[in-house]
Amino acid sequence: MKKRIAALLAVLLAVSFLIPVSCSADSQPLLYRVTDEQGHEIYLFGTIHVGNDALYPLSEQVLRAMDQCDTLAVEVDLVWEMEHPEELLKYSMDIYYTDGSKAEDALGKELVSRAADALGMDERLINAMKPYGILSLLEEKSVADALLSSELGVDRYLIRLAREEGMEVRALETLEEQFTLLRSMTDELSAYQIELYAAYPQEMAFSTLMLLNAWKTGDRAALTHMLESEDGMLSLPDALKQEFEEFNQKMYGDRDDAFVAEAETFLSQGEKVFFAVGAAHVAGTDGMADQLEKLGYTVEEIGR
pLDDT (tens digit per residue) in 188-245 = 999 999 999 999 999 999 988 988 888 888 787 887 777 776 554 447 888 898 999 9
pLDDT digits (tens, 9 = 90+) for 172-193: 999 889 999 999 999 999 999 9
Query: Parallel, antiparallel, or unpaired: how do β-strands 298-301 and 273-278 relate?
Result: unpaired
Name the pLDDT band for 27 (thresholds 50, 70, 90). Answer: low
Q: How far is residue 120's CA from residue 122's CA, in Å, rounded to a whole number?
A: 7
CA distance 107 to 188: 8
The pLDDT score that the predictor gives to residue 92 is 81
Q: Provide the pairing of β-strand 168-171 with 31-35.
A: unpaired
Residue 1 pLDDT grade (very low, low, confident, very high; cuts 50, 70, 90):
very low
Question: ∠57-59-60 over CA atoms, to 5°?
Answer: 105
pLDDT at 12 over 70: no
- Rounded Cα distance between 21 and 301, Å, is 20
Q: How does pLDDT run across 30-84, given as a tens digit for each residue?
A: 899 999 999 999 999 999 999 999 889 999 999 999 999 999 999 999 888 888 8
The pLDDT value recorded for residue 171 is: 97
Cβ burial 16-34 (10 Å sphere, 16+ → b, else e): eeebebeeeeebbbbbbbb
Instruction: Give the C-alpha distances (Å, rounded to integers) separating 206 from 128, 152, 167, 191, 237.
Output: 29, 18, 36, 21, 23
The arithmetic mean of pLDDT across residues 94-110, rounded, is 96
Element (H, E) at 290: helix 288-294
How many whole angstroms separate alpha carbon 87 and alpha carbon 38?
41
Q: What is the mean pLDDT of residues 81-94?
A: 82
Average pLDDT over the chain, rounded to whole?
A: 87
pLDDT of residue 274: 98
Radius of gyration of the chain (CA): 19
The pLDDT of residue 16 is: 33
Select the more confidently predicted residue: 86 or 157.
157
